[in-house]
Amino acid sequence: MRKQCIVIPVYNNPETVFKVVESALESAVDVIVVDDGSSPAVAIKSDCNRLHTLRHQSNKGKGEAILTGARKAKELGYSSFFVVDADGQHFAHEIENFAASDVENCIVIGCRRFGENVPGSSKFGRKFSNFWIKTETGLLLDDTQSGFRSYPISILELDLKKKRYDFEIEVLVKHVWNGGCIQEVEIEVHYPKADERISHFHAFKDNLRLTRLHSALVFRRWLGLK
């Protein structure tokens, strides 16, 4: 398996980010934390020279945070990197599950096993997203909304316009259109109880962004403008 670093985009997750970083550092690779304008700023005290902390002065969106992390990963000499969300839903040790899908120029998605605490909106959103990705790429995938992924550095060469949650859809579609592959591996996921859950997904604004994006991508595919 190629050596891959870990990128952790974070925005106002003070209760979970430190444990996520601590777990990621156990992997013995570089860990890049991208603070996307959190208030207060993320301050992680560590003597580990594998920890790199970057900060956006204002909130630019998860997609932009991932790209910032990707540029740092490239600077450090990595050809690919993992993204682990800072909200504690993902388990960094499950990166080992990605070993069997170690393919050049491939995005690998951690397909979540949904349990009892998963909100109905997440289940619906996953099915909705999977349908549109199939329409746009022809690929039948199980979890196109999962944020636990392995990305090749080559995504920096794609013409990506979206900077927030819609980035995670746009990058999949344009990666496939550019000749890249997508694979999935099964992972566990932790969903806190509703009163403990922190989400920055805005139901109206982000769903509107996603609807506009899917409409544009389907239109481009129909016109052969990939």
- Measured between alpha carbons, how far is residue 95 from residues 15, 18, 84 in Å? 22, 18, 9
pLDDT number for residue 163: 92
pLDDT number for residue 189: 80
Q: How far apart are CA 209 and CA 166, in angstroms?
A: 7
Listed in sequence order, the residues at least 6 apart from 79 whose beta carbon sits closer than 8 Å to its beta carbon are 2, 4, 152, 153
Give the helix/strand (H/E) hosting 8. strand 5-10
pLDDT number for residue 196: 46
Longest dimension (CA), the chain: 53
**Edge-to-edge strand order for the sheet containing 181-187?**
51-56, 31-36, 5-10, 80-83, 149-152, 106-112, 181-187
78 is in which domain, residue-wise? Answer: 5-222
- Tens of each residue's pLDDT in the chain, 226 residues: 567 899 999 999 888 999 999 999 998 899 999 999 999 999 998 889 999 999 999 999 999 999 999 999 999 999 999 999 998 888 888 888 886 566 788 999 999 876 555 555 666 678 888 999 999 999 999 999 899 999 999 999 999 999 988 999 999 999 999 999 999 999 988 765 555 445 555 555 666 777 888 888 888 887 776 6
pLDDT number for residue 160: 96
**Cβ pair 66, 74 in contact under 8 A:** no
Domain count, the chain: 1
Q: How far apart are CA 63 and CA 161, in angstroms?
A: 9
Q: How far apart are CA 37 and CA 174, in angstroms?
A: 27
Q: What is the CATH number of the domain that holds 28?
A: 3.90.550.10
Spell out the alpha helix ranges (H) of the chain. Answer: 17-25, 62-75, 120-137, 167-177, 203-222
**Cβ pair 45, 108 in contact under 8 A:** no
* Angle of CA points 36, 48, 85, to nearest 5°: 35
Its pTM stands at: 0.85
